[in-house]
Structure 1
């Protein structure tokens, strides 16, 4: 179902050239990359998995270490929140800029650059003498968030359409870490050696990723597009995203219509308006407005944002809190609640994501996405209906591991690459990637004021179901490309 034309599948017999002493392990790609043959595809996949895990472990392994970080630097819980918030914000901004810049610089060179930045940031965190320097290291680590979008684009330009879905699903599965085992390992390392041990482990893995990237991934022989990077547009859109993110964070705690919240939202709209004006005046825009307004782009961004705002909030916030609430919920200890309602969808997603990618290649990316959203909506409705039955909720949360962690996340990531404008292949993956962080923050910000009582949790689930319905509507508007 991929609408982008990709060269013949790896391993397709090529006409021999008597002047060449040996065949080249790759064939040329229309966007300047290479289509790898069967013998090197496994090495490519292993390299990209290690690269994305080098980034992802900075979220899953660091989370259980946050209390120790706070004690070590003697900072409050409110200040400690910067460890995660600035990390994700840097990733969203860098994802927009660096994926588009890779159209001009080359995917492999950009991936090497972000991995080197990740290594530097990780070592800064490991040796930081104070909290400000530690946060600076986290920002550098966050910049490497573009590794996921770069990995998806490298796959789309290096493997056949028949393999793209499955391999992309494997990469997407790494988005949740290692099925909860990484979080457990992070806690063990922190308890025995201190939080610094986590960063030494991640630094070692990142060094391996850099070595494998330099040795395994082919370099682009020519840019994926012509022109030059639109830094003005990138800066304006990044500023709009920054203020929008802070609006979502502050609005969820202080009120969406308070003067401070509205001021942040107004500034975000102002910068986005300036971005739209700037994009009309450059020859190589960051994201051409005609594409952004098409059914190939904005519905995908909206679907991604709303999916995260609905299902992510149900799994990682509403049900997680309800399970531990001793008055309105099940009153479980934190460890048991996580074992029952967080670990199953993560583990199931590890298997469901590659299968979803394979299925998308067989029956269509949009079909898998819409089916995943429809079943997720039904699952959220079931949780609302049977909230008092913990084992029914357990089963429905496990189902979301298939539909959300598998079907939805795999397809929105894949469609970000497949539906990107041919003349700017890095534009849509970057903007779609930014929608992940904004959507997750928005969903928690919307439902957080409701939780706490039985009716409040049910109200939060009802709101999440409504948002999931809106995501399904956007997915139904989304259209595959037929012009590339």
Structure 2
């Protein structure tokens, strides 16, 4: 079992409400998610200030991805060594310092270095934040806590673009980074007050070789997937994905011999965790494709302005919020297995319905369809994120959270890749240079078919899986 280090009782509240802890973690993650999407909107303006071409600014996004790829796998081990509260608080601090440096960046190379530092903070915030929640919340409250955690991941990509447009239009692009400072400082204060320090026992020496191999593999894969959605970068994308796969194979060979690999694939033998990783990965491909395909559909296919498209896409954030209070009651009544099977099918149908969207559809109908689609998807990810840790002991929790977060980030990027490839393949088949409505329909159908395949894995969950967490009693 893990060693726990507690400060004097007067230093902070002994048993804070789980919602407080969930909101602290969720706020840090929202800061990170919004930052990434806001920046994408401001890149043309930043390119003008730095005196470079707009496409050259993409390195500001990919440098952040590089830090994520390298450091997420190591996050669990770092949290075990220094304590989850210390690492989470430090991660927020590093992210804030990186944000300040980004705001003061006089040139593109300086910005890239600042983004690398920011990415180190982000890489630790995601998995360690989840680890903090796992170690601080009772099992009976886990579903509700996870519902809160899911909101930033869904709202961030939606709120980011319109917020970025507002900042670039009415303020200075540097405010994109300044707004992280007060949020981060408040977050660090609340972490110090409400979250306990918990350390884990090291299972063996630090896996330096595995750290290098996994970093090269994951970095290449993330870059490759990201570049696949950019015109003229297909060859480089394929090359990077090939490099990522080769180093991934090398890592797997290495991990079999190391006593404490940086990414512990033996976790996949734990039934609830392994099934959740596979089924959740298939579903996250759809979730990753959605923020890429929907704005393009509304702007190119429907001819709407960016602002109008953004207003429609806000519907997905509303669906996620509506789901939050209902998840726990549903799991208690029908259990995780049945919920995942039924809801997974409904969610995929809802997302596949996007393939039928046409400009002559009433906008309120499209808005309602997207709210329902997001509702089902949000419910599904709450289930996966919770059931994954049902059979994981405290001594392996840090390894499990870093492993799960790594695949989560990878699959969201892969979703963009598959959505872009399906769209471009349909365009090539139809002989058009600009995507038409039929091309978008093809892309939505492709990602929906991938998502529905998760049902095969959902059927493999035990009928009593997560019963202790949900309170469900199988008949």
Q: So what's the TM-score if we normalise by structure 2? A: 0.83
Q: Which of 65, 83, 88 is equivalent to 1:88?
A: 65
Structure 1 CA distance, aligned partners of 2:171 and 2:279? 42
Structure 1 CA distance, aligned partners of 2:398 and 2:239? 31
Q: 1:263 to 1:114 in 2, by over 3 A?
A: same
Is the 1:106–1:224 Cα contact (8 Å) retained in structure 2?
no
Q: 1:432 to 1:277 in 2, by over 3 A?
A: same
Q: 1:179 to 1:239 in 2, by over 3 A?
A: closer
Structure 2 CA distance, aligned partners of 1:112 and 1:407? 29
Structure 2 CA distance, aligned partners of 1:234 and 1:420? 23
Match of 1:461 in 2: 444
Work out whether 1:312 is the aligned partner of 2:288: yes
Work out whether 1:471 is the aligned partner of 2:446: no
Q: Per-residue deviation at 1:194? A: 0.5
Please list every run of 5 or more consecutive structure 2 residues that lacks an aligned counterpart in the other structure.
7-12, 428-434, 470-475
Is the 1:247–1:262 Cα contact (8 Å) retained in structure 2?
yes
Count of paired positions? 447
Q: Say which is worse superposed, 390-399 or 197-206, in terms of deviation.
A: 390-399
Divergent runs of 4+, >6 A:
254-257
Work out whether 1:399 is the aligned partner of 2:372: yes
Please list every run of 5 or more consecutive structure 1 residues that lacks an aligned counterpart in the other structure.
1-29
Structure 2 CA distance, aligned partners of 1:333 and 1:257? 28
Q: Secondary structure at the match of 1:157?
A: helix
Match of 1:125 in 2: 102
Is the 2:92–2:188 Cα contact (8 Å) retained in structure 1?
yes
Match of 1:245 in 2: 222
Q: Per-residue deviation at 1:238? A: 2.0
Match of 1:443 in 2: 415
Q: 1:88 to 1:264 in 2, by over 3 A?
A: closer
Q: Per-residue deviation at 1:473? A: 2.5
Q: 1:262 to 1:447 in 2, by over 3 A?
A: closer
Work out whether 1:433 is the aligned partner of 2:405: yes
Match of 2:315 in 1: 344
Structure 1 CA distance, aligned partners of 2:206 and 2:311? 46
Q: Per-residue deviation at 1:420? A: 4.2
Structure 1 CA distance, aligned partners of 2:19 and 2:112? 36
Is the 2:350–2:369 Cα contact (8 Å) retained in structure 1?
yes
Is the 2:387–2:466 Cα contact (8 Å) retained in structure 1?
no
Q: Per-residue deviation at 1:294? A: 5.1
Q: Which of 147, 164, 170 is equivalent to 2:142?
A: 164
Structure 2 CA distance, aligned partners of 1:40 and 1:455? 50
Q: 1:323 to 1:53 in 2, by over 3 A?
A: closer
| 1:132-166 deviation line (CA, Å, top 9, x unaligned) | 11122122222223323222221221121121211
Q: Per-residue deviation at 1:168? A: 1.9
Query: What is the alpha-carbon root mean square deviation over aligned residues?
Result: 3.2
Is the 1:323–1:337 Cα contact (8 Å) retained in structure 2?
yes
| 1:247-278 deviation line (CA, Å, top 9, x unaligned) | 334455579996x5554344323322222222
Q: 1:371 to 1:67 in 2, by over 3 A?
A: farther
Q: Secondary structure at the match of 2:244?
A: helix
Q: Per-residue deviation at 1:412? A: 2.9
Q: Which of 44, 47, 53 is equivalent to 1:67?
A: 44
Q: Which of 336, 345, 354 is equivalent to 1:374?
A: 345
| 1:345-391 deviation line (CA, Å, top 9, x unaligned) | 11221332453356446643444333332112111333334546533
Structure 2 CA distance, aligned partners of 1:270 and 1:149? 25
Structure 2 CA distance, aligned partners of 1:257 and 1:58? 27
